């Protein structure tokens, strides 16, 4: 108590007994000392204060030689026990001196904490000093020190707010939020600083909302279908993200993915300059560019209606990369003004389509698991109506064949030789090559089994069967409607145009191209022609569209 007057006498006696030189005079065990401390905390008399040896030992401790040891021991005990001492001790005789020392001690501790940026601990020390002063003469000292302390807090506050502003400028949202949190812990009340803090706080909150929306928007993109037929939707979603968050946290990743998917894709444009692939705005279908020029059409080795081999010239055009799918055909069905158009059978087979579509409250949707399969059981009239709705057209025979076989006259989209694993044909389901005589060369039971299991596959599955211009399933999967009327001798006709040929003469039949999952290998050649009445529908007939490049 000569060194620190705050220490109560009962507690002092416990400490002195624990420090006695003679072991016999110290506590016999830690449990004994614990009991004395517990008595002290309860306000009861401690055994150490009744000891006859207390006086002599106190005199020894008070000697100059031992003061340092006593001070060291007290420094170890007092920080933990002073709060209890203040609560339980009676008023000492030198109250004002002790209170002043306590207040100064607390304020000094608060300053040390501030130097280490431990603001919460500093505030606790400051509050304890406030409680200790409690209207005494030490209040004057406290007011002076409080003013200085507030100046320190103001400087720290200004530094933190400057850090908030700098972090926002460098797009370091985490740093801005951390600095703003530190500012709030200071509990500054000065109007000018609070006004600046409110402005910066609003900017931080806005940046956080923007970051959360950014993250949510990109997460939504990740949920988009990875199926080839829906890549257009994913690309559109990526571009929408970039439009809203040009400097977003995932902007660089979004740009890289978009460029990887479509190196020449230009957002917001349905069609574009020569040599670039784009999306059709109405149905989000991806189109590939086919350049102008001549190509080898027909075949001298094929059926008679494929002869002669010749070389027409076409303007450039765009053609759908994939066959029209159930997913996009449902969009068209929902655009029809009346359900009667579907029920009439002019567009689709209303009974057969139930396997591929569902209708709830008059809204059509692709059946689960069938979204990316080609739309089938569609009449020529239905395919033509879809094309007009999509702002496109059905391809002419010439356009279809050039897109399928390229300019060099490939027999199949991928080249000159047959590969059953490159397409969805009957040979794929039989797991062996089947030619045009297949129906007569296999047994009835196998024939029934084969025809029963053969079916469409999702578009874009056969990468190896892709055409020279990047189209999928131009051989196999489903037959595809063309714009032309069928004329058996059209190729050999002298009236046939050599530039952008199109047979507009209505023969009552329309051309189909490409073969299907029901076809033998001869019918899957790119020059093969087939005819059907335009009102026909079958489970292996679908279509794709084209758009002019002008």
Confidence of residue 548 (pLDDT cuts 50, 70, 90): confident
Mean local confidence (pLDDT), 324-352: 89
Listing DSSP states for 143-160 in one string gives HHHHHHHHHHHHHHHHHH
Residues 195 and 149: their CA atoms lie apart, in Å, by: 21
Residues 496 and 489: their CA atoms lie apart, in Å, by: 10
Lowest mean pLDDT among 39-53, 150-164, 450-464: 39-53
pLDDT digits (tens, 9 = 90+) for 348-385: 998 888 899 998 888 899 999 999 999 999 999 999 99
The β-bridge partners of 71 are: none
- What whole-number percentage of the chain has pLDDT above 90? 40
Mean local confidence (pLDDT), 99-120: 73
pLDDT score recorded for residue 484: 96
Tokens standing for 5? 């007057």
Q: Are 425 and 520 in contact (CB under 8 A)?
A: yes
pLDDT score recorded for residue 84: 45
Listing DSSP states for 173-242 in one string gives HHHHHHHHHHHHHH----HHHHHHHHHHHHHHHHHHHHHHHHHHHHHHHHTS--SGGGHHHHHHHHHHHH
Lowest mean pLDDT among 158-172, 463-477, 505-519: 158-172
Nearest Cα to 315, choosing from 407, 399, 406?
399
pLDDT score recorded for residue 150: 55
pLDDT score recorded for residue 159: 82
**Cα of 171 vs its chain's centroid, Å:** 20
In the block, which residue shows the tokens 């109560």?
A: 8
* Alpha helix segments (H runs only) across 116-137: 119-133
263 vs 249, which has greater pLDDT? Answer: 249
Q: Over 60: is that where the pLDDT of 144 sits?
A: no
Q: Over 90: is that where the pLDDT of 295 sits?
A: yes
Lowest mean pLDDT among 279-288, 461-470, 508-517: 279-288
Tokens standing for 83? 């709060």
pLDDT score recorded for residue 354: 87
Tokens standing for 243? 């439009």
Please tell me the pTM assigned to this model. Answer: 0.55
Residues 417 and 16: their CA atoms lie apart, in Å, by: 105
The β-bridge partners of 287 are: 278, 320
Q: Are 529 and 491 in contact (CB under 8 A)?
A: no
Q: Over 50: is that where the pLDDT of 530 sits?
A: yes
- What angle, rounded to 10 degrees, do the helices at 138-169 and 173-186 form? 170
Q: What is residue 495's three-state secondary structure?
A: coil
Q: Let me know how long the chain is.
A: 550
Tokens standing for 109? 């501790």
Tokens standing for 263? 């190196």
Contacts of 58 (CB under 8 A, 6+ apart): 16
In the block, which residue shows the tokens 């406030």?
A: 130
Q: Rg of the chain's alpha carbons, rounded to an integer?
A: 44
pLDDT score recorded for residue 114: 65
Q: Are 508 and 533 in contact (CB under 8 A)?
A: yes
Q: Over 50: is that where the pLDDT of 528 sits?
A: yes
User: Does residue 191 come out as left (phi exceeding 0), alpha (psi in the -120 to 50 range) or beta?
Assistant: alpha
Confidence of residue 400 (pLDDT cuts 50, 70, 90): very high
Average pLDDT, the chain: 81
Q: Over 80: is that where the pLDDT of 234 sits?
A: no
Listing DSSP states for 430-456 in one string gives HTS---TTHHHHS-HHHHHHHHHH---
pLDDT score recorded for residue 375: 97
Helix (H) or strand (E) holding 340: helix 340-343
Lowest mean pLDDT among 132-146, 324-338, 435-449: 132-146
Lowest mean pLDDT among 13-27, 49-63, 147-161, 204-218: 49-63
- What whole-number percentage of the chain has pLDDT above 70? 78
pLDDT digits (tens, 9 = 90+) for 166-223: 988 888 888 899 888 888 877 777 778 888 888 999 999 988 888 888 888 777 776 6
In the block, which residue shows the tokens 């207390």?
A: 54
Q: Over 90: is that where the pLDDT of 53 sits?
A: no
Q: Over 90: is that where the pLDDT of 95 sits?
A: no
Nearest Cα to 217, choosing from 256, 247, 245?
245
| Phi and psi angles of residue 293, each rounded to the nearest 5 degrees, phi first | 135, 175
273 vs 115, which has greater pLDDT? Answer: 115
Tell me the residue ranges of DSSP E strands in 310-402: 313-314, 317-320, 357-360, 363-366
Lowest mean pLDDT among 96-110, 128-142, 275-289, 368-382: 128-142
Residues 535 and 269: their CA atoms lie apart, in Å, by: 34
Contacts of 360 (CB under 8 A, 6+ apart): none
Residues 445 and 15: their CA atoms lie apart, in Å, by: 104
Listing DSSP states for 507-537 in one string gives -S-EEEES--TT--GGGGSTT-EEEE-TT--
């Amino acid at each position: 108590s000569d060194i620190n007057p705050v220490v109560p006498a009962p507690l002092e006696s416990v400490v002195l007994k624990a420090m006695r030189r003679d072991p016999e005079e110290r506590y016999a065990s830690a449990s004994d000392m614990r009991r004395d401390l517990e008595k002290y905390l309860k306000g009861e008399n401690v055994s150490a204060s009744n000891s006859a040896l207390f006086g002599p030992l106190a005199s020894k401790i008070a000697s100059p030689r031992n003061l340092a040891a006593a001070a060291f021991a007290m420094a170890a005990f007092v920080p933990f026990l002073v709060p209890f001492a203040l609560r339980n001790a009676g008023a000492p005789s030198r109250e004002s001196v002790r209170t002043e020392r306590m207040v100064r001690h607390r304020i000094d501790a608060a300053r040390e904490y501030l130097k280490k940026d431990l603001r919460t601990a500093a505030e606790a020390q400051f509050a304890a000093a406030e409680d200790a002063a409690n209207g005494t003469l030490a209040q004057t000292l406290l007011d002076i020190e409080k003013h200085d302390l507030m100046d320190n807090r103001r400087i720290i506050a200004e530094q933190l707010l400057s850090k908030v502003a700098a972090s926002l400028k460098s797009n370091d949202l985490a740093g801005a939020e951390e600095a703003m949190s530190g500012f709030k812990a200071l509990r500054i009340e000065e109007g000018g600083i609070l006004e600046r803090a409110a402005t910066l706080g609003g900017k931080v909150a806005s940046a956080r909302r923007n970051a959360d929306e950014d993250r949510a928007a990109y997460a939504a993109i990740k949920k988009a279908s990875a199926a080839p037929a829906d890549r257009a939707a994913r690309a559109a979603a990526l571009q929408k993200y970039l439009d809203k968050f040009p400097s977003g946290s995932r902007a660089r990743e979004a740009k890289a993915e978009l460029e990887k998917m479509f190196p020449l894709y230009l957002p917001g444009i349905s069609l574009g300059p020569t040599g670039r692939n784009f999306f059709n705005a109405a149905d989000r279908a991806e189109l590939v560019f086919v350049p102008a020029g001549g190509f080898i059409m027909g075949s001298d080795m094929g059926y008679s209606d494929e002869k002669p081999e010749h070389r027409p010239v076409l303007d450039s055009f765009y053609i759908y990369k994939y066959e029209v799918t159930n997913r996009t055909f449902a969009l068209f069905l929902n655009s029809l003004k009346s359900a009667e158009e579907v029920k009439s059978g002019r567009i689709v087979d209303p009974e057969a389509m139930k396997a591929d579509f569902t209708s709830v409250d008059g809204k059509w949707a692709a059946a689960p698991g069938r979204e990316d399969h080609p739309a089938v059981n569609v009449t020529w009239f239905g395919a033509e109506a879809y094309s007009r709705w999509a702002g496109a057209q059905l391809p002419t025979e010439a356009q279809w064949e050039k897109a399928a076989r390229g300019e060099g006259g490939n027999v199949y989209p991928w080249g000159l030789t047959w590969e059953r694993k490159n397409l969805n044909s009957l040979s794929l389901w039989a797991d062996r090559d089947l030619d045009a005589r297949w129906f007569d060369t296999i047994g009835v039971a196998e024939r029934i089994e084969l025809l029963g299991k053969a079916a469409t596959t999702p578009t874009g599955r056969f990468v190896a069967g892709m055409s020279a211009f990047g189209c999928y399933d131009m051989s196999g999967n489903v037959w595809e409607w063309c714009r032309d009327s069928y004329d058996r001798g059209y190729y050999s006709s002298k009236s046939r145009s050599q530039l952008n040929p199109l047979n507009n003469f209505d023969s009552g039949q329309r051309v189909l191209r490409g073969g299907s999952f029901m076809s033998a290998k001869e019918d899957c050649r790119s020059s093969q022609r087939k005819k059907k009445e335009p009102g026909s529908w079958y489970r292996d007939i679908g279509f794709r569209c084209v758009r002019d490049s002008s």
